[in-house]
Structure 1
Amino acid sequence: MSTQTPRSTDAGRSASPSPTQPDGRPKGSWQRGRWTLLAIALICAAPIVLSYFTYYVIKPKGGTTSYGELVAPQRPIPESLMVTGDDGHTVPLASLKGRWLMISVDGGACGDACATKLYFMRQVRAAQGVERERIVTVWLRTDGASVSDVLKTVYPDTRMLRADPAALAQWFPATDATKDTDHIYLVDPNGNLMMRFPAHADPSKINRDVTKLLKWSRIG
């Protein structure tokens, strides 16, 4: 009596090995890995794409991100610009390079507008917390008038130096309606005059600009 072996097409099909890649991994596993890598790449790229979309399509209102007016081109501290301290020593102003300089220009008598600028500069510097040591506040005096003891006591960290007013007027840009004594100026650690704040400035907006500069710049 002959015995016939039953055919089992389904069994044979299920026993067939699944397709593999050259490295031996199942094809389905490779496809899942590829989609996973693509998803990770999209997640990582999303913030960059969003920032470009915001800047180039939506565009920030006002067209500018700074309160102070950028000085263009930048004006390096003139090598010939000398300043004199109360100790009688005369040095180049450029010797202060290496830190951010926040500068006010006024006569030694220092009226209300002068005192207000000194106060704003001190407060903006103090508001930077641990970063404040990167800033030096400077009062460039345009005459030989003595500074009152009160101002010396209230602003002990401000460098109070005498300078030639004609030389300062050539270096500091003003406007048709203002003088160099109306503004607070910012000089970067490389010695470039790079920003001028408006007359009668808003100290909170000055503080915002300075905070951004210190955050994004590692010099000084």
Structure 2
Amino acid sequence: MSGSKSSDPAAAEAPRHAAPADEPLGLVVHSLPSPGDVVVRQRATGRIKMLLVLAVCAAPVIASYFTFYVVRPTGTAYGTLVSPLAMPALEGRTLAGAPQALRGLAGQWLLVAVDSGACAAACEKRLFMQRQLREMTGRERDRIDKLWLVVDDAPVTPALRQALEATPGMNILRLPREAVAAWLKPAPGQALEDHLYIVDPHGQWMMRQPVDADPAKVKRDIERLLRASAGWDQPGRQALIGAAAAAADPAMGPASRP
């Protein structure tokens, strides 16, 4: 038609279908980690794994300490729990006169009796209960020692001495009464000699049993303490002493140990 602007539809659609211009392929290259960075990451990972392993291993120990020193079942204990009081640095003497440091007896649970060397009937009864309590714990008895603190110069009868020295885990030590009384405390109105005292493997006095205690109830207290400390306390001090003695003198029996 004259005067009208003509258009070519094919020409109008051409730009839409034109092939895109070729573009260069872009590549992004990441730098490789340096050997030093790899070593640092490996060390950090190794430390984390090591800390996790230590945490798992330490959990039972931490739990037992928490149970023993924090929870402390005062409502169910037969004896009286006391704030742990460390062994003093005292030097005593065995019945044979040899010097012996009190702290050298740490490392085991200790059932402690205190009395005169004359040891009247009540004293003998307490020493017998010591022996029975240790044996009543069965296979746990190697974690327990007995200690008789003789607080005067009175001689021990030969028969009693022989009987005590022949029993496993028995220790007899002479110490001044006033020095022992500064560490172990009787109940109000009672004498130092009236009780059986329990000392933990760290050398801390932590429980006092009643006067004329019931052995079955004392045994339950001891069993609770042994269970609570099972994660960190292991038998061995007497075993090590016996092994060392046997190595030095194979003919040396348990009764010959100091």
TM-score where L is the length of structure 1: 0.68
Larger Rg: 2
Q: 1:63 & 1:163 partners in 2: Cα distance?
A: 31
Partner residue, 1:126: 135
Question: Counterpart in 1 of 2:8?
Answer: none
Match among 190, 196, 213 for residue 208 of structure 2 = 196
Partner secondary structure for residue 104 of structure 1: strand
1: CA distance, partners of 2:211 / 2:190 = 8
Q: Which of residues 68, 71, 88 in structure 2 aligns to 1:78? A: 88
Residue type at the aligned position of 1:67:
Y
Q: Secondary structure at the match of 2:182?
A: helix
Structure 1 position 105 matched with structure 2 position 114: yes
Q: Which residue matches 1:179?
A: 191
Offset, 1:145: 1.6
**In structure 1, what is the equivalent of residue 20 of structure 2?**
none
Task: Give SS of 2:139's match.
Answer: helix
Moved over 3 A (4+): none
Is it true that 1:209 corresponds to 2:221 in the alignment? yes
Question: What's the CA shift string for 1:68-91, capped at 9, x where partnerless?
Answer: 10012x100012x22210222222
TM-score by length of 2: 0.58
Partner residue of 2:12?
none
Residue 166 (1) aligns with residue 191 (2): no
Trace 1:43-122 onto structure 2 (pairs within 5 A). Answer: 64-72=75-83, 74-79=84-89, 81-122=90-131
What is the Cα deviation at residue 106 of structure 1?
0.2
Distance 2:159 2:181 in 1: 28
AA of the residue aligned to 2:141? R
Of 153, 161, 165, the match for 2:162: 153
Q: 2 CA distance for matches of 1:140 and 1:162?
A: 6
Partner of 1:146, secondary structure, is: coil
Instruction: Report Cα offsets for 1:93-126 as digits up to 9, x if no partner.
Output: 0111110011000000100110010011100000
Distance 1:116 1:63 in 2: 27
Rounded to whole Å, the distance in 2 between the matches of 1:215 and 1:205 is 16
What does residue 53 of structure 1 align with?
Answer: none
> Once the two structures are superposed, what CA deviation does each residue of 1:30-85 show, in whole Å capped at 9, x if it has no partner?
xxxxxxxxxxxxxxxxxxxxxxxxxxxxxxxx97111110012x100012x22210
Q: Once the two structures are aligned, what percentage of the paired residues are identical? A: 38
Match of 1:26 in 2: none
Matched with 2:16 is none
